[in-house]
Amino acid sequence: MRPTRPVLAVVCLALATVVSAVTSLNVAIPSLARDLHGTSSDLAWVVDAYSLVFAALLLPGGALGDRFGRRRVLAVGLSVYGLTALVAMTAGGFAELVALRAVLGLAAALIMPATLSTITSTFPEERRAQGVAAWTGVAGASAVLGLLTSGLLLEWFSWRSVFGLNVVLALLALVGTLRIVPESADPAAPPADLVGTLLSVAGLGVLVWALIEAPTNGWGSGSTLTGLAVGILVLAGFLVWELRMARPMLDPRLFARPAFAAGTLSVCVQFLAFFGFAFVFLQYLQIVRHDSALVAALSMLPLAVGLMPAARLAPRLVGLRGPGVVCVTGLGLAAVALGLLSRVDAGTSYAWVAAFLVPLGIGMGLAMTPATTAITAALPDEQQGVASAVNDLSRELGGALGIAILGSVLTSTYRSNLPQGLPAAARESAGVASQVGGRVAEAARTAFVDGLGATLLTGAGVVAVAAVVVGVLLGRAGERQRDAVDDAIVVTPAH
């Protein structure tokens, strides 16, 4: 058997490659707005095109890895990823950039499921929990480390250098995959579910489109309400289709298991808050506080300082207190931190910001590991590709929804708080308005701060509600487990 540490290092590098790209462009948002003259919707689409396609294709990506070999699919995904990032360095407009980010999302959907399923299907049982804990820590912290590296690059180069970073990481991960990662597969995996894939892509695409464009079209407009309704109906159709399949890509009946449902909800909400927060808060740091890209990225490091140790400590705490207590505590801590961060303004000291970024990271780190373990433990070894894809889907769907929802709340409240009589450019985005200078820039910064407060309170409320629901579900899961043990004791004859 191959040593597990080199394999873990390679799959975590591949994981960091795709996760860092979710937020790496966030630090370049003001630069993109200046160079390509984008609206708030344009900027949201550049970030969310990646997350949306990533989320929508994770399930078929995991199924392909199960069927044709996780190492093989991982290598293909890394190759496509690196080549697409290389082309993206030459993009000349938002439409082209959004399309290329979507292709990167497709490649990421091949890569990410193969990383976790390689751990869960090839590591010995006694090392599996440690591997999953390291994976979850990297999944959370690499987003912040990606921001830091991107900020460093932007000190000397343009936003195009961010894609150059993607090229380098993908190449290194590809070489490591071909040399170190063992092959694993499920020969009995079902064929690709093309109808289910199309329904999931269409449903998520329409839903996210409606959310991102809502500030422009109006939350009560016919196009927004129709888009939301169509997206929900198509996703409902996806679930009905999967229920009719003999071997579904995603079996909706899995969510009848309280622990599985709790883990999925927890992961989704964690990343809704995490990526949505990064998207809006980095703009605050650069537009309101006038931080450079590097300083803004460095300002986010306290979040990783809290997250990484908490993710590694979580398995031990779960053994002492149980998954319910650890997961709910983590979500509750994150909700409180988001609520306190919603009070920042142009004059807030960085010490205040850092003081609440640390508990935000701790909360997410505590909640991540038990949630991920609940999902992967629900399925047998031969279906770990699907289990890891559901886990990854929850993450990326949460991230896509977080950027869409929190970004839309920010845009709506920003525009509603702008004084009358400002130039039309001020309504496009705060980044564009800040370049005008004078009264326009000051009014835009004030409106942005008001919008940020409402946005982070919205995120805090979503996380708090999720904490209650997750606590109830994990409580039921614990009751079922105790009942099963009691039944086994009753029917087992005494010796």
Q: How far is CA 217 from CA 38, 213, 475, in A?
A: 17, 6, 42
What single letter denotes the amino acid at residue 152?
L
What count of residues does the chain have? 495
Find the helix or strand (DSSP H, E) in which 17 lies: helix 4-24
* 3-state percent breakdown (helix, strand, coil) of the chain, nearest 5: 85, 0, 15
89 class by beta-carbon count within 10 Å (0-12 exposed, 13-18 middle, 19+ buried): middle
CA distance readout (Å), 158 to 29, 85, 432: 11, 15, 17
Residue 117, token pair as written in the block: 């399923």
Q: Distances from the Cα of 440 to the Cαs of 68, 274, 287, in angstroms? A: 57, 31, 13
Handedness of CA 20, 33, 358, 402 (dihedral sign): negative
The conformation of residue 344, written as its DSSP 8-state character, comes to -
**What's the rounded Cα separation, in Å, for the pair 179 and 173?**
10
CA separation for the pair 448, 396 (Å, rounded): 26
Question: Does residue 135 contact residue 119 with C-beta atoms inside 8 Å?
Answer: yes
Encode the chain (495 residues) as per-residue pLDDT tens digits.
456 778 888 888 999 898 888 778 888 887 887 777 767 778 888 888 888 888 888 778 877 887 788 889 999 999 999 999 999 998 888 889 999 999 999 999 899 888 877 887 777 776 777 787 787 778 767 777 788 888 888 888 888 888 999 999 999 999 999 998 888 877 666 677 788 888 988 888 888 888 888 877 788 888 889 999 999 999 999 999 989 888 787 788 888 888 888 889 999 999 899 889 988 898 899 888 888 888 988 898 898 888 888 888 888 887 787 777 888 999 999 999 999 999 998 888 999 899 999 999 999 989 988 888 777 776 666 666 566 667 777 887 888 888 888 988 998 888 887 787 766 666 766 766 666 667 777 887 888 888 899 999 999 999 999 999 988 888 776 656 555 444 444 445 544
pTM for this one? 0.81
- Is the Cβ–Cβ distance between 302 and 429 less than 8 Å? no
Residue 37 CA to residue 62 CA, distance in Å, equals 38
Using an 8 Å Cβ cutoff, are 52 and 201 in contact?
A: no
